[in-house]
Amino acid sequence: MWIFAVNEQAGGGRGRAVWRKVEADVKRRGIPYLALLTSCPEQASSRIREELALHPAGGINGIKGVIVVGGDGTLHGLLPVLANSGVPLGIIPAGSGNDTARALGLSKQPIQALERALSSAARPVDLLLFTGCLPSTTAPGPNAAEPRPILTALAIGFDAAVADAVNRSSYKKLCNLLRVGSLAYIIGVFQTLLTYRPQKLQLTVDGKEHAFERGWLSAVCNTSSYGGGLRICPEASSTDGLLDVCVVHSCTPLQLLRLFPTLLSGSHIRLPYVTLLRGRSVTVAADGPARTRVFGDGETLGAVPLTAQSAPGKLLLLY
């Protein structure tokens, strides 16, 4: 049996429309399935946990896989449930950003994404385990002592502040409605640039310390791209057991602004104010008057200091 975890509210209601198309094709194929219709990532996570307890993987009535119909938030919320479960995860993107699906090279077309999930062999991929200071408003959920699985990347500093500004904005919904979600990010970059100030960053990668006096941002990546297709760490792979780190530092606001278009191609790595690091364990701390925000898989996680560790092969993925 296949389980479809459907967030009907994903993408401003797009999840519901995508599921109608997918369900019609699933019925046409005569595939045994169970649809869990939810309205938020937390509800999806709770329902999947219940089903896994009732129908373990394998056996006649076992679960063949869980296919998410939703956005990055829905997918992120299921990672603690599916990691180490032996149940493969498939993705049919239906959110406003769909950064995870983009990073994995999955189709935006629902039926093509369904076909890929149903026909692909389950492959083990790495996760990034985050430990850090979570916001006090996050309840219920993992506390600061419990590692939190991330599939794509941690965004730290300026780009996390941009994501926070966009999420708080009134223009995000309008941009999503007009199908120009990337425009909201561009607006957020200019908005954040007016007030953001670089801070001293201290990174430790596999025990080796690195200090940056004027650090704008750092990204700890398990995949090569994030944030609307920005190829922040072009060589990153979710199957090599390593984390790739990109630090942007010691540049002017104008140079930072000019850097963003180069992130689409990955050519930023040749710039003198960009440093790339790689390792199995990364810690990030900041020294400055402002909180240095952290986002993971597009979700707010709080602020530094943080620790990130690679967890090789912890998730089975259908892609």
> Residues 71-88: pLDDT tens digits?
999 999 999 999 999 999
Q: What is the pTM of this model?
A: 0.90
First to last CA, the chain: 19
Query: Is the domain covering 128-313 a CATH 3.40.50.1970 domain?
Result: no
User: What distance lies between CA 175 and its chain's CA centroid?
Assistant: 20
Element (H, E) at 148: strand 148-150
pLDDT over 60 (residue 310)? yes
Identify the weakest region by mean pLDDT among 61-70, 150-159, 206-215, 242-251. 61-70
Other residues' Cβ atoms within 10 Å of the Cβ of residue 288: 12
Write down the pLDDT at residue 181: 66
pLDDT over 50 (residue 143)? no
Write down the pLDDT at residue 141: 41
The residues pairing with 299 across neighbouring beta strands, listed in sequence order, are 296
pLDDT (average), residues 194-205: 96
**For residue 7, what are the contacts with CB-CB under 8 A and spacing of at least 6?**
15, 38, 39, 40, 41, 44, 68, 69, 70, 71, 73, 74, 94
Structure token pair of residue 92: 């049919």
pLDDT over 80 (residue 289)? no
pLDDT (average), residues 196-217: 97
**What Å distances lie between residue 3 and 112, 161, 240, 297, 318, CA to CA?**
18, 36, 29, 23, 13
pLDDT over 70 (residue 103)? yes
pLDDT over 50 (residue 287)? yes
Identify the weakest region by mean pLDDT among 105-109, 136-140, 156-160, 283-287. 136-140
Determine the 3-state secondary structure of 34 from DSSP: strand
Could you please state the CATH topology (level 3) that the domain comprising 2-120 is classified under: Rossmann fold (3.40.50)
Determine the 3-state secondary structure of 191 from DSSP: helix
Q: Give the residue from 199, 201, 187, 15 showing the smallest Cα distance to 95.
A: 15
Instruction: Give start-end residues of each CATH 3.40.50.10330 domain in the chain.
Output: 2-120
Q: Where are the beta strands (DSSP E) in 151-256?
A: 153-157, 199-205, 208-221, 243-249
Structure token pair of residue 91: 């993705």
pLDDT (average), residues 126-135: 82
pLDDT over 60 (residue 65)? yes
Bond prior to 272 in cis (omega within 30° of 0): no
Structure token pair of residue 49: 């946990």
Average pLDDT score over the chain: 91
Instruction: Give start-end residues of each CATH 2.60.200.40 domain in the chain.
Output: 128-313
The C-alpha atoms of residue 303 and residue 311 are separated, in whole angstroms, by 22
How confident is the model over 151-189, as pLDDT tens digits? 999 999 999 999 899 888 988 878 777 767 668 888 989
Burial bucket for residue 312 (CB in 10 Å: 0-12, 13-18, 19+): middle
The C-alpha atoms of residue 11 and residue 193 are separated, in whole angstroms, by 27
Let me know: does 66 contact 1? Beta carbons within 8 Å: no
Write down the pLDDT at residue 140: 38
